[in-house]
Amino acid sequence: KNEVEQSPQNLTAQEGEFITINCSYSVGISALHWLQQHPGGGIVSLFMLSSGKKKHGRLIATINIQEKHSSLHITASHPRDSAVYICAVRPRGGSNYKLTFGKGTLLTVNP
Amino acid sequence: SQTIHQWPATLVQPVGSPLSLECTVEGTSNPNLYWYRQAAGRGLQLLFYSVGIGQISSEVPQNLSASRPQDRQFILSSKKLLLSDSGFYLCAFHRGVNTEAFFGQGTRLTVV
């Protein structure tokens, strides 16, 4: 069974702090997604990774395939970064049509 | 550009009433379409997926059904809602296995 674990579950930071959210998974994957869910509920895709590192603005996502681990970093955090961040993986093989999701990390950035 | 529309945003329905949630996709053809549910305190759970018109696969047994009457339209339905059907429902699509996933704005369903 494919498990996706995120840590921490909740994270509170002060504006300007560097933030790291971690994601571990248990099976071989073909891709990993980092998603952002704002209080209104809609989900936005931030990154899709299969190896290495990607950067978009203040967001950086890394993945270590051998260790089955990914991190999402936010530099110079801002209150508008407050949201739930969700890690999702697409397994290799027969179940690769679907994503398995972590439970999310609730990030609150205070001014 | 590829976009996905889902409606309504919120819905309060009595137990035993029918349900119809609609999702449409623009800017792409032959997408893989998905319905997910997010219960309180839990991760997103896949309910249904479709790889083509009229092709529906169900992941979990439940009180819901799905239909895909057109290439870019995906509908989630129920004949009689249960209290346990309350939750946040998300429609999603992607073009292929290792491509970007796009999500709708979601529908918060409360069954009373």
- In this predicted model, what pLDDT tens digit does every residue of A16-58 receive, in sequence order? 999 999 999 998 888 999 999 988 778 888 999 999 999 999 9
Answer whether A35 sits within 8 Å of B99, measured CB to CB.
Answer: no
Per-residue pLDDT averaged across B5-17, rounded? 94
The rounded distance, in Å, linking the Cα atoms of A32 and A77 is 23
Identify residues of B whose CB sits under 8 angstroms from chain A CBs: 9, 32, 34, 41-46, 49, 51, 59, 88, 90, 92, 97-106, 108
Chain A hits for B59, Cβ within 8 Å? 98
What are B53-68's pLDDT values in tens digits? Answer: 999 998 877 789 999 9
Q: Does the pLDDT at position A97 exceed 90?
A: no
The pLDDT of residue B102 is above 70: yes
Residue B20 has pLDDT above 90, yes or no: yes
Average pLDDT of the segment spanning B70-94? 93
Q: Helix or strand or coil: residue B4?
A: strand
Over residues A75-91, mean pLDDT? 94
> Which pLDDT value is given to residue B30?
87
Q: Answer whether residue A90 shows pLDDT above 90.
A: no
Q: Is the pLDDT of residue A96 over 70?
A: no
Average confidence (pLDDT) over B99-103: 82
Please name which of A97, A40, A13, A38 lies closest in space to residue B107, comparing C-alpha atoms: A40
Best A2, A101, A105 member to test B by mutation, with max B CBs in 10 Å, is: A101
d(CA A41, CA B69): 26
Establish if A101 touches chain B: CB-CB under 8 angstroms: yes
What is the chain B residue with the closest CA to A42?
Answer: B105
Query: In chain B, what residues touch A23 (CB-CB under 8 Å)?
Result: none
Tell me how far CA of residue A39 lies from CA of B4, B54, B77, B89, in angstroms.
19, 34, 25, 14
